Amino acid sequence: MTKAGDREGFIQLGRELIDAIYVEFESDRWAIIKTHSEHMTLRVYEIGAVMHSTILLDEILDAAEAGRDLTVSVMSRAHIEANLIGVFILLGGKSALDAVAADSRAQDETTANELDAWDKRLASLIKNTEKRLARISKRNSQIKAWNDRNPDLQPVSLIELPHVPRANYAGPEIGVELRKHISGVTPNQLPFRQVVDKASKLALSQRYSNEPFDPIYHVYRLLSAVGVHTSLGLLDGYLDRNERSLFVRGAKESQLPYATEQNLINGIYTLALMTEWLMRKYEVETVYFGLVRKSLESQPLDLRGWTPGL
């Protein structure tokens, strides 16, 4: 196993972890019979949570290798969210899965309602604009006729024709599919802050972690500030304010700190830990995933970002 100590080492360690996860889940012991039982449903989504975090980490490693630190920050934020929701499901069982399902239904319902509202709004815009267009076209015909009859007089200007919207309708199909996606579930939003609190309580009680997940949530918020949400602080990072110059110029790269190596540590460690717990839950060998964690814990770096509790 690679001993990580710098960006290249972390990338290699992450690649090895991802390969190990892919090999594991390709084995027959993770082939689940389609019984639609509560146990089967929970296990399927536990696997899905690990695989989603794995794919995100794979993308993060590609971006880090290419020197795309902004992309690493954006994707790392998504990875934190995916990981903690996965941990919530893994530790919370059916009640946690039900809460995530209710939130998913609420989000799908909101999107479907937005699409329906847009179609109605667009239809109304087109109808009203076409009425105005017909009136103005008729009036322009009258003006043109008057101008033709009175060539010696100052011509009257034609009225500018309104723009008829050409945007596409969303159509009912997407909304129907969204509402069918999780049927029989009452919509109920679950803010990510609540996921963090609930996952923290479960992690502490089951010894998944020795400390709450608040520090990693703070990293999540900070990553929002440096790459996801366009704030004045983010835009200010792209301004070159050279004190020796009378001018402010646009900078080719953001001056904000990205902490790419720390993001790699967070992603690798949290994925290894979640995978290790899933393996242990179903009595599968977990030695390798523990070694990945220990290799990071031995690094002379500030590892408090993920704070699973050493």
Q: What is the DSSP string of 108-152?
A: HHHHHHHHHHHHHHHHHHHHHHHHHHHHHHHHHHHHHHHHHH-TT
Cα separation, 147 vs 155, whole angstroms: 5
Residue numbers in the chain where pLDDT is lower than 70: 1-5, 298-310
Q: So what's the pLDDT on residue 184?
A: 81
Residue 55 lies in a domain: yes
Q: So what's the pLDDT on residue 285?
A: 83
Cα separations in angstroms, 185 against 100, 105, 132, 196, 302: 10, 7, 45, 22, 43
Helix (H) or strand (E) holding 194: helix 192-205
Residue 126 lies in a domain: no
71-73-78-79 Cα dihedral, nearest 10 degrees: 110
Helix (H, G, I), strand (E, B) or coil at 233: helix
Residue 124 lies in a domain: no
Question: Identity (one letter) of the amino acid at 286?
Answer: T
pLDDT in tens, 50-94: 999 999 999 999 999 999 999 999 999 999 999 999 999 999 999
Q: So what's the pLDDT on residue 63?
A: 96
The whole-model pTM stands at: 0.86
The dihedral through the CA atoms of 68, 73, 78, 83 has a sign that is positive
Q: Which two tokens stand for residue 114?
A: 């937005």
Residue 182 lies in a domain: no
Cα separation, 27 vs 188, whole angstroms: 36
Q: Give the contacts of 237 (CB within 8 A, at least 6 positions apart).
A: 226, 251, 254, 255, 256
Q: So what's the pLDDT on residue 80?
A: 96
Angle at the Cα of 261 from the Cα atoms of 256 and 267, rounded to 5 degrees:
110
Residue 147 lies in a domain: no
Tally of structural domains, the chain: 1
Residue 210 lies in a domain: yes
Residue 121 lies in a domain: no
Residue 94 lies in a domain: yes
Q: So what's the pLDDT on residue 156?
A: 96
Q: Which two tokens stand for residue 108?
A: 């799908």
Residue ranges making up the domain that contains 60: 7-103+190-297
pLDDT in tens, 16-41: 999 999 999 998 888 888 887 888 88
Neighbours of 204 (CB within 10 A): 15
Neighbours of 75 (CB within 10 A): 24
Q: So what's the pLDDT on residue 302?
A: 52
